[in-house]
Protein backbone atom coordinates (compact mmCIF):
# COMPACT_ATOMS: atom_id res chain seq x y z
CA UNK A 1 0.00 0.00 0.00
CA UNK A 2 1.41 3.40 -0.94
CA UNK A 3 1.62 5.99 1.83
CA UNK A 4 -0.33 9.17 1.29
CA UNK A 5 2.02 12.11 0.68
CA UNK A 6 1.33 14.83 3.25
CA UNK A 7 0.17 18.08 1.72
CA UNK A 8 2.70 20.87 2.26
CA UNK A 9 1.34 23.82 4.15
CA UNK A 10 2.41 26.72 1.97
CA UNK A 11 0.88 30.06 2.83
CA UNK A 12 -1.32 31.52 0.13
CA UNK A 13 -0.75 34.97 1.59
CA UNK A 14 2.96 34.46 0.79
CA UNK A 15 2.31 32.95 -2.63
CA UNK A 16 0.44 36.05 -3.75
CA UNK A 17 3.52 38.13 -2.90
CA UNK A 18 6.42 35.82 -3.79
CA UNK A 19 5.99 32.08 -4.51
CA UNK A 20 9.71 31.61 -3.82
CA UNK A 21 9.21 32.96 -0.30
CA UNK A 22 6.27 30.59 0.19
CA UNK A 23 8.56 27.69 -0.79
CA UNK A 24 11.39 28.80 1.51
CA UNK A 25 9.03 29.21 4.46
CA UNK A 26 9.17 25.42 4.78
CA UNK A 27 12.61 25.90 6.38
CA UNK A 28 13.87 28.07 9.23
CA UNK A 29 14.09 31.82 8.54
CA UNK A 30 17.46 33.55 8.22
CA UNK A 31 16.59 36.08 10.92
CA UNK A 32 13.97 37.01 13.51
CA UNK A 33 11.31 39.63 12.87
CA UNK A 34 12.44 43.10 13.85
CA UNK A 35 10.40 44.95 16.45
CA UNK A 36 9.06 47.27 13.75
CA UNK A 37 7.99 44.38 11.53
CA UNK A 38 6.24 42.69 14.47
CA UNK A 39 4.34 45.86 15.17
CA UNK A 40 3.32 46.36 11.54
CA UNK A 41 2.15 42.75 11.25
CA UNK A 42 0.25 43.00 14.53
CA UNK A 43 -1.37 46.26 13.44
CA UNK A 44 -2.43 44.73 10.13
CA UNK A 45 -4.08 41.77 11.90
CA UNK A 46 -5.74 43.94 14.53
CA UNK A 47 -7.14 46.28 11.88
CA UNK A 48 -8.59 43.26 10.07
CA UNK A 49 -10.29 42.18 13.31
CA UNK A 50 -11.50 45.74 13.90
CA UNK A 51 -13.07 45.83 10.45
CA UNK A 52 -14.97 42.61 11.13
CA UNK A 53 -16.11 44.05 14.49
CA UNK A 54 -17.25 47.13 12.60
CA UNK A 55 -19.26 45.05 10.11
CA UNK A 56 -20.87 43.05 12.90
CA UNK A 57 -21.77 46.19 14.83
CA UNK A 58 -23.26 47.76 11.71
CA UNK A 59 -25.02 44.80 10.12
CA UNK A 60 -25.50 42.28 12.95
CA UNK A 61 -23.39 39.56 14.50
CA UNK A 62 -24.18 36.97 11.85
CA UNK A 63 -23.23 39.26 8.96
CA UNK A 64 -19.70 38.01 8.54
CA UNK A 65 -17.78 34.81 9.16
CA UNK A 66 -14.14 35.40 10.05
CA UNK A 67 -11.01 33.56 9.01
CA UNK A 68 -12.71 31.14 6.63
CA UNK A 69 -10.46 28.18 5.85
CA UNK A 70 -9.68 27.59 2.19
CA UNK A 71 -7.86 24.52 0.90
CA UNK A 72 -5.73 24.83 -2.19
CA UNK A 73 -3.37 22.37 -3.88
CA UNK A 74 -0.31 23.04 -1.71
CA UNK A 75 -1.68 24.49 1.46
CA UNK A 76 -4.44 26.14 3.41
CA UNK A 77 -5.37 29.80 3.42
CA UNK A 78 -7.84 31.92 5.35
CA UNK A 79 -10.22 34.47 3.90
CA UNK A 80 -10.32 37.50 6.22
CA UNK A 81 -14.11 37.55 6.20
CA UNK A 82 -17.00 36.03 4.31
CA UNK A 83 -20.39 37.67 3.86
CA UNK A 84 -22.82 34.78 3.50
CA UNK A 85 -25.74 36.96 2.45
CA UNK A 86 -24.04 37.97 -0.79
CA UNK A 87 -21.47 35.13 -0.78
CA UNK A 88 -18.66 37.67 -0.90
CA UNK A 89 -15.07 36.98 0.16
CA UNK A 90 -13.45 39.98 1.88
CA UNK A 91 -9.73 40.65 1.82
CA UNK A 92 -8.35 43.48 3.95
CA UNK A 93 -5.32 45.59 3.11
CA UNK A 94 -4.44 48.10 5.81
CA UNK A 95 -2.50 50.91 4.23
CA UNK A 96 -2.79 54.68 4.10
CA UNK A 97 -0.93 54.86 0.80
CA UNK A 98 -1.49 51.54 -0.95
CA UNK A 99 0.49 51.33 -4.17
CA UNK A 100 -0.87 49.77 -7.35
CA UNK A 101 1.54 46.86 -6.81
CA UNK A 102 0.19 46.23 -3.28
CA UNK A 103 -3.39 46.39 -4.48
CA UNK A 104 -2.67 44.04 -7.36
CA UNK A 105 -0.93 41.56 -5.08
CA UNK A 106 -3.90 41.51 -2.71
CA UNK A 107 -6.28 41.09 -5.64
CA UNK A 108 -4.31 38.00 -6.68
CA UNK A 109 -4.67 36.71 -3.12
CA UNK A 110 -8.41 37.35 -3.20
CA UNK A 111 -8.80 35.69 -6.62
CA UNK A 112 -6.94 32.66 -5.26
CA UNK A 113 -9.47 32.35 -2.45
CA UNK A 114 -12.39 32.88 -4.81
CA UNK A 115 -11.09 30.13 -7.08
CA UNK A 116 -10.68 27.63 -4.26
CA UNK A 117 -13.72 28.34 -2.14
CA UNK A 118 -16.86 27.32 -3.93
CA UNK A 119 -19.35 29.46 -1.98
CA UNK A 120 -17.40 32.60 -2.95
CA UNK A 121 -19.41 34.03 -5.84
CA UNK A 122 -18.03 37.54 -5.36
CA UNK A 123 -15.05 39.20 -3.79
CA UNK A 124 -14.13 42.58 -2.42
CA UNK A 125 -10.76 44.02 -1.48
CA UNK A 126 -11.06 46.57 1.32
CA UNK A 127 -8.19 49.04 1.55
CA UNK A 128 -8.35 50.41 5.09
CA UNK A 129 -6.64 53.61 6.15
CA UNK A 130 -5.19 52.92 9.62
CA UNK A 131 -5.37 56.63 10.41
CA UNK A 132 -9.10 57.31 10.20
CA UNK A 133 -10.45 53.81 9.44
CA UNK A 134 -11.82 55.04 6.12
CA UNK A 135 -12.06 52.41 3.42
CA UNK A 136 -11.85 52.07 -0.32
CA UNK A 137 -13.57 49.06 -1.86
CA UNK A 138 -12.52 47.09 -4.91
CA UNK A 139 -15.42 44.78 -5.76
CA UNK A 140 -14.39 41.78 -7.85
CA UNK A 141 -16.90 40.01 -10.08
CA UNK A 142 -16.09 36.59 -11.47
CA UNK A 143 -17.45 37.10 -14.98
CA UNK A 144 -14.93 39.74 -16.02
CA UNK A 145 -11.77 39.86 -18.09
CA UNK A 146 -9.96 41.46 -15.13
CA UNK A 147 -10.84 38.48 -12.93
CA UNK A 148 -9.74 36.03 -15.65
CA UNK A 149 -6.32 37.72 -15.71
CA UNK A 150 -6.01 37.49 -11.93
CA UNK A 151 -6.92 33.80 -12.03
CA UNK A 152 -4.31 33.25 -14.74
CA UNK A 153 -1.71 34.64 -12.32
CA UNK A 154 -3.04 32.43 -9.53
CA UNK A 155 -2.51 29.33 -11.66
CA UNK A 156 0.92 30.47 -12.88
CA UNK A 157 2.07 30.82 -9.27
CA UNK A 158 0.72 27.43 -8.31
CA UNK A 159 2.34 25.87 -11.40
CA UNK A 160 5.73 27.37 -10.47
CA UNK A 161 5.47 25.84 -7.00
CA UNK A 162 4.32 22.47 -8.31
CA UNK A 163 7.26 22.42 -10.72
CA UNK A 164 9.64 23.13 -7.80
CA UNK A 165 7.96 20.39 -5.74
CA UNK A 166 8.50 17.99 -8.62
CA UNK A 167 12.26 18.61 -8.44
CA UNK A 168 12.58 21.78 -10.51
CA UNK A 169 14.04 25.14 -9.58
CA UNK A 170 12.66 27.40 -6.91
CA UNK A 171 10.15 29.89 -8.32
CA UNK A 172 11.72 33.06 -9.74
CA UNK A 173 12.70 35.89 -7.41
CA UNK A 174 10.49 38.95 -7.17
CA UNK A 175 13.38 40.93 -5.65
CA UNK A 176 16.16 42.20 -7.89
CA UNK A 177 18.55 42.36 -4.91
CA UNK A 178 18.58 41.22 -1.26
CA UNK A 179 17.88 44.70 0.11
CA UNK A 180 14.37 44.49 -1.39
CA UNK A 181 13.39 41.56 0.85
CA UNK A 182 12.16 43.63 3.85
CA UNK A 183 9.71 45.34 1.51
CA UNK A 184 8.13 41.89 1.07
CA UNK A 185 8.23 41.04 4.78
CA UNK A 186 10.64 38.30 3.88
CA UNK A 187 13.20 36.78 6.26
CA UNK A 188 14.80 34.49 3.67
CA UNK A 189 17.02 36.89 1.75
CA UNK A 190 20.28 35.11 2.69
CA UNK A 191 18.98 31.72 1.56
CA UNK A 192 17.22 33.14 -1.47
CA UNK A 193 20.29 35.03 -2.69
CA UNK A 194 22.92 32.51 -1.64
CA UNK A 195 25.80 32.60 -4.14
CA UNK A 196 24.29 35.63 -5.87
CA UNK A 197 26.51 38.51 -6.86
CA UNK A 198 25.27 41.87 -7.95
CA UNK A 199 25.86 42.07 -11.70
CA UNK A 200 28.41 44.81 -12.51
CA UNK A 201 26.91 47.89 -14.11
CA UNK A 202 28.09 48.66 -17.62
CA UNK A 203 30.42 51.68 -17.76
CA UNK A 204 29.98 54.55 -20.26
CA UNK A 205 33.39 56.07 -20.87
CA UNK A 206 32.43 59.36 -22.56
CA UNK A 207 33.27 62.84 -21.18
CA UNK A 208 30.00 64.25 -22.54
CA UNK A 209 28.03 61.81 -20.38
CA UNK A 210 30.15 62.55 -17.31
CA UNK A 211 29.68 66.32 -17.81
CA UNK A 212 25.92 65.86 -18.22
CA UNK A 213 25.73 63.69 -15.10
CA UNK A 214 27.56 66.38 -13.10
CA UNK A 215 25.29 69.09 -14.53
CA UNK A 216 22.24 67.01 -13.69
CA UNK A 217 23.41 66.55 -10.09
CA UNK A 218 23.97 70.30 -9.78
CA UNK A 219 20.60 71.24 -11.26
CA UNK A 220 18.83 68.62 -9.19
CA UNK A 221 20.26 70.25 -6.08
CA UNK A 222 19.14 73.67 -7.33
CA UNK A 223 15.69 72.26 -8.09
CA UNK A 224 15.38 70.88 -4.55
CA UNK A 225 16.36 74.21 -3.04
CA UNK A 226 13.93 76.12 -5.29
CA UNK A 227 11.10 73.68 -4.53
CA UNK A 228 11.70 74.05 -0.80
CA UNK A 229 11.64 77.85 -1.14
CA UNK A 230 8.49 77.69 -3.28
CA UNK A 231 6.76 75.40 -0.78
CA UNK A 232 7.49 77.90 1.95
CA UNK A 233 6.04 80.78 -0.08
CA UNK A 234 2.98 78.70 -0.98
CA UNK A 235 2.47 77.87 2.68
CA UNK A 236 2.52 81.55 3.60
CA UNK A 237 0.12 82.38 0.74
CA UNK A 238 -2.30 79.70 1.92
CA UNK A 239 -2.18 81.09 5.45
CA UNK A 240 -3.13 84.51 4.08
CA UNK A 241 -5.98 82.93 2.05
CA UNK A 242 -7.32 81.26 5.17
CA UNK A 243 -7.27 84.59 7.01
CA UNK A 244 -9.01 86.30 4.07
CA UNK A 245 -11.73 83.64 4.15
CA UNK A 246 -12.39 84.45 7.80
CA UNK A 247 -12.31 88.23 7.32
CA UNK A 248 -14.56 88.16 4.25
CA UNK A 249 -17.09 85.59 5.39
CA UNK A 250 -20.56 86.72 4.31
CA UNK A 251 -19.18 89.27 1.82
CA UNK A 252 -19.75 89.11 -1.95
CA UNK A 253 -17.24 87.09 -3.98
CA UNK A 254 -15.63 90.22 -5.38
CA UNK A 255 -14.79 93.25 -3.24
CA UNK A 256 -12.45 96.22 -3.30
CA UNK A 257 -10.02 96.98 -0.52
CA UNK A 258 -7.87 100.09 -0.96
CA UNK A 259 -5.98 99.60 -4.19
CA UNK A 260 -6.85 95.89 -4.40
CA UNK A 261 -9.68 93.96 -5.97
CA UNK A 262 -10.20 90.68 -4.10
CA UNK A 263 -12.03 87.89 -5.86
CA UNK A 264 -12.98 84.50 -4.42
CA UNK A 265 -13.58 81.64 -6.86
CA UNK A 266 -15.09 78.37 -5.60
CA UNK A 267 -13.94 75.49 -7.76
CA UNK A 268 -15.74 72.16 -8.05
CA UNK A 269 -13.72 69.64 -10.02
CA UNK A 270 -15.52 67.32 -12.39
CA UNK A 271 -16.20 63.82 -11.05
CA UNK A 272 -13.94 61.11 -12.45
CA UNK A 273 -14.55 57.48 -13.23
CA UNK A 274 -12.31 54.88 -11.56
CA UNK A 275 -11.97 52.59 -14.52
CA UNK A 276 -10.02 49.87 -12.73
CA UNK A 277 -12.66 49.40 -10.09
CA UNK A 278 -15.43 49.44 -12.67
CA UNK A 279 -13.54 46.89 -14.74
CA UNK A 280 -12.96 44.58 -11.77
CA UNK A 281 -16.59 44.75 -10.83
CA UNK A 282 -17.66 43.91 -14.39
CA UNK A 283 -19.75 47.01 -14.83
CA UNK A 284 -21.28 46.94 -18.26
CA UNK A 285 -24.40 48.95 -17.64
CA UNK A 286 -24.00 52.72 -17.76
CA UNK A 287 -26.67 53.06 -15.07
CA UNK A 288 -24.40 51.19 -12.68
CA UNK A 289 -21.47 53.51 -13.23
CA UNK A 290 -22.67 55.91 -10.55
CA UNK A 291 -21.31 53.67 -7.79
CA UNK A 292 -17.84 53.97 -9.22
CA UNK A 293 -17.76 57.73 -9.63
CA UNK A 294 -15.35 59.56 -7.37
CA UNK A 295 -16.65 62.90 -6.15
CA UNK A 296 -14.70 65.82 -7.55
CA UNK A 297 -12.53 67.91 -5.26
CA UNK A 298 -13.94 71.24 -4.12
CA UNK A 299 -11.67 74.14 -3.27
CA UNK A 300 -11.36 77.90 -3.49
CA UNK A 301 -8.83 80.07 -5.29
CA UNK A 302 -8.07 83.70 -4.55
CA UNK A 303 -6.92 86.49 -6.82
CA UNK A 304 -5.57 89.78 -5.51
CA UNK A 305 -4.66 92.39 -8.10
CA UNK A 306 -4.58 96.13 -8.48
CA UNK A 307 -7.84 97.37 -9.96
CA UNK A 308 -8.30 100.06 -12.60
CA UNK A 309 -8.62 103.51 -11.19
CA UNK A 310 -6.77 102.59 -8.08
CA UNK A 311 -5.26 105.64 -6.46
CA UNK A 312 -2.37 103.59 -5.21
CA UNK A 313 -1.94 103.88 -1.51
CA UNK A 314 0.57 101.66 0.16
CA UNK A 315 3.79 101.32 -1.80
CA UNK A 316 4.55 97.64 -2.38
CA UNK A 317 7.61 98.36 -4.55
CA UNK A 318 8.07 96.09 -7.55
CA UNK A 319 5.99 93.15 -6.27
CA UNK A 320 4.18 91.69 -9.33
CA UNK A 321 0.59 91.78 -8.10
S1 LIG B 1 14.16 37.69 -0.83
FE2 LIG B 1 12.62 38.46 -2.24
S3 LIG B 1 12.68 37.04 -3.96
FE4 LIG B 1 13.71 36.04 -2.25
S5 LIG B 1 12.15 34.82 -1.26
FE6 LIG B 1 12.23 36.77 -0.22
S7 LIG B 1 10.68 38.02 -1.23
FE8 LIG B 1 11.10 36.31 -2.57
Nearest CA to ligand 1 atom 4: 192
Q: Averaged over 192-199, what is the pLDDT?
A: 94
Which pLDDT value is given to residue 269? Answer: 79
pTM of this structure: 0.69
Find the residues whose C-beta lies inside 6 A of ligand 1: 18, 20-21, 24, 173-175, 181, 184, 186, 188-189, 192
CA of 189 to the centre of ligand 1 (A): 6
Decide if domain 10-192 falls under CATH 3.40.50.1820. no
Nearest CA to ligand 1 atom 5: 21
Residue 306, beta-bridge partner list: 260
Instruction: Read off the pLDDT of residues 13-26 as tens digits, 9 standing for 90 and up.
Output: 999 999 999 999 99
Instruction: Read off the pLDDT of residues 26-48 as tens digits, 9 standing for 90 and up.
Output: 999 999 999 999 999 999 999 99
Which pLDDT value is given to residue 267? Answer: 85
Q: Which of 150, 139, 170, 159 is nearest to 21 (CA)?
A: 170
CA of 39 to the centre of ligand 1 (A): 21
Closest atom of ligand 1 to 24 CA is: 5
Which residues contact residue 248 at a Cβ distance below 8 angstroms, ignoring those fewer than 6 apart? 255, 262, 264
Is the confidence at residue 308, as pLDDT, over 70? no
Closest atom of ligand 1 to 184 CA is: 7
Instruction: Read off the pLDDT of residues 85-126 as tens digits, 9 standing for 90 and up.
Output: 899 999 999 998 999 999 999 999 999 999 999 999 999 999
CA of 174 to the centre of ligand 1 (A): 6
Instruction: Read off the pLDDT of residues 250-266 as tens digits, 9 standing for 90 and up.
Output: 999 999 999 999 999 98
CA of 102 to the centre of ligand 1 (A): 15
H or E element in which residue 57 lies: helix 35-59
Quick check: 184 and 41 in contact, CB under 8 A?
no
Is the confidence at residue 280, as pLDDT, over 90? no
Quick check: 171 and 157 in contact, CB under 8 A?
yes
Amino acid sequence: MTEAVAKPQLRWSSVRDCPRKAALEGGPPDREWTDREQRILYRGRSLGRDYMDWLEAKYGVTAVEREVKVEWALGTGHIDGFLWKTQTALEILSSAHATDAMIHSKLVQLAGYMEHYEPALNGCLIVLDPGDFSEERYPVAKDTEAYALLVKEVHERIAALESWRAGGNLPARVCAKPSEAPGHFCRFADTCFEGWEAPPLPEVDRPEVLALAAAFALEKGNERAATAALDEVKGRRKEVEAQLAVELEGHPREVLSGSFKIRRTDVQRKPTLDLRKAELAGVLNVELLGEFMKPGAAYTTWTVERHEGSAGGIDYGEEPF
